[in-house]
């Protein structure tokens, strides 16, 4: 039985949720899953039990859920499609990086393998999507990069923006308008705990100050 869009969305959310877990944690709590999918907690519980029944996840009541190898394979496939489609929409269709998420969210479930393969080919087997998120390989491997946030990277040292971990359109437009998209080189000049902000030097030595919250969503390579 091929998985429904709903099942694919659950698996993808669990997959992404697992990467967000800190430390040795391995289980995604139901509350987090429910809010990631925008559904009621009870619905998540019911669905996850069904997913466990079909061998795609392991479910520990009151603890959370984890993907089985079978579930992980499916999840990586969906995430690969999502990110390839996003990149395609930006690179080939000329759409803005803040408006491709919703299209990708739907298309990831319906386009044929053949079309995905054509996109991948046209894009030259890309490794990262427009937001710097890694694109899983066809066999489910995720490129791992050692990145730091603007809150932890070295001061007064050129760093390259590599990834933006927030899909919010307004935030993405802000990033773009301040030339902070992946690929741009910047420096962190100062961090101020009290004012909860970070001072940056960007393109053309342009100075700017952003909040710590925003700074934590900009990942850079040194």
Partner DNA sequence: GCCACGGTTTTGAGTCATCAAAATAATAAA
Partner DNA sequence: TTTATTATTTTGATGACTCAAAACCGTGGC
Helix (H, G, I), strand (E, B) or coil at 195: coil
* x-or-dash string of contact with Mn ion, 117-156, rule CB under 5 A: ------------x-x-x-----------------------
40 lies in the binding site for DNA (CB under 7 A): yes
Tell me, rounded to whole angstroms, the distance of Cα 74 from its chain centroid. 17
Binding residue (CB under 7 A) for DNA from 30, 116, 119, 164: 30
Q: Measured between alpha carbons, how far is 147 from 153 in angstroms, rounded to an integer? A: 9
Binding residue (CB under 8 A) for a copy of itself from 63, 106, 152, 195: 106
Three-state secondary structure along 19-80? Answer: HCCCCCCCCECHHHHHHHHCCCHHHHHHHHHHHHHCCCEEEECCCEEEECHHHHHHHHHHHH
Work out how close the CB of 115 gets to a copy of itself at its nearest, in angstroms, rounded to a whole number.
6
Residues 6 or more apart in contact with residue 19 via CB below 8 angstroms = none
The residue ranges that bind a copy of itself (CB under 8 A) are 89, 92-95, 99, 102-103, 106-107, 110-112, 114-115, 118-119, 122
The residue ranges that bind Mn ion (CB under 5 A) are 9, 86, 105, 129, 131, 133
The residue ranges that bind DNA (CB under 7 A) are 4-7, 29-32, 38-50, 61-62, 64
């Amino acid at each position: 039985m091929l998985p429904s869009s709903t099942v694919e969305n659950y698996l993808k959310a669990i997959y992404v949720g697992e990467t967000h877990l800190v430390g040795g944690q391995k289980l995604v709590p139901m509350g987090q899953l429910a809010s990631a999918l925008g559904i009621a907690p009870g619905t998540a519980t019911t669905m996850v039990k069904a997913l466990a029944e079909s061998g795609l996840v392991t479910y520990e009541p009151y603890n959370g859920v984890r993907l089985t190898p079978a579930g992980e394979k499916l999840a990586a496939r969906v995430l690969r499609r999502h990110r390839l489609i996003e990149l395609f929409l930006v690179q080939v269709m000329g759409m803005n990086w803040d408006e491709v998420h919703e299209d990708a969210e739907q298309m990831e479930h319906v386009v044929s393998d053949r079309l995905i393969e054509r996109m991948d080919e046209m894009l030259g087997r890309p490794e990262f999507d427009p937001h710097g998120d890694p694109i899983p390989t066809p066999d489910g491997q995720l490129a791992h990069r050692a990145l730091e946030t603007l809150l932890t990277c070295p001061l007064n040292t050129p760093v390259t923006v590599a990834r933006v971990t927030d899909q919010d359109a307004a935030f993405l437009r802000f990033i773009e308008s301040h030339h902070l998209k992946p690929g741009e080189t910047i420096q962190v000049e100062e961090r101020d705990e009290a004012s909860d902000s970070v001072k940056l030097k960007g393109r053309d030595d342009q100075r700017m100050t952003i909040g710590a919250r925003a700074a934590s969503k900009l990942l850079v390579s040194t």
